[in-house]
């Protein structure tokens, strides 16, 4: 926790309500209160505030990541888990994963032989992107 946050909680307690323009924020500094909040009110706090850009990008909040928690979200989640993350589907990606890992290792070997600097974050991000595209 940074100094300003610490001073706020020391002055006003573990829960601080802030209104910055039209945005309302609640700052909770107590781990035990946060745990209780997530245990008892997880559905109430699980929705994101609607934004026009997300409405457009997710075809009216129909995307898995941006839809409100409820029946539609549960059905989409079941569909994703069954069709995208089922054991048979994950196993079917094995050959792509193996090829991409070999390619990653080969590129790191070449860079090591050339004593070149490698941006490992970029390499891993690219690997993850390839895995997502092929999924």
Domain ranges (residues) in the chain? 1-46, 50-92, 94-134
Q: What percent of the chain has a predicted confidence (pLDDT) above 70? A: 88
Can you tell me the distance from the alpha carbon of 39 to that of 31, in angstroms, rounded to the nearest whole number?
Answer: 12
Mean pLDDT score across all residues of the chain: 80
- Asked if residue 135 has pLDDT above 70, the reply is no
- Asked if residue 56 has pLDDT above 80, the reply is no
Is residue 106 very low, low, confident or very high in pLDDT (cuts 50, 70, 90)? very high
Long-range contacts of 42-47 (CB under 8 A, 24+ apart): 43/69
Least confident of 26-35, 44-53, 102-111: 44-53
Coil/strand/helix, residue 58? coil
Is residue 20 very low, low, confident or very high in pLDDT (cuts 50, 70, 90)? confident
Coil/strand/helix, residue 21? coil
């Amino acid at each position: 926790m940074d100094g300003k946050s610490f001073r706020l909680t020391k002055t006003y307690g573990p829960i601080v309500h802030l209104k910055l323009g039209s945005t309302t924020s609640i700052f909770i500094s107590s781990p035990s209160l946060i745990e209780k909040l997530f245990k008892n009110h997880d559905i109430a706090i699980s929705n994101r505030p609607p934004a026009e850009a997300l409405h457009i990008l997710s075809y009216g909040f129909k995307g898995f990541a941006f839809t409100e928690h409820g029946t539609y979200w549960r059905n989409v989640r079941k569909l994703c888990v069954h069709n995208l993350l089922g054991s048979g589907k994950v196993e079917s990606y094995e050959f792509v994963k193996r090829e991409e890992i070999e390619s990653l290792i080969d590129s790191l070997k070449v860079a090591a032989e050339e004593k070149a600097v490698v941006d490992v974050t970029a390499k891993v991000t690219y690997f993850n992107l390839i895995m997502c595209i092929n999924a």
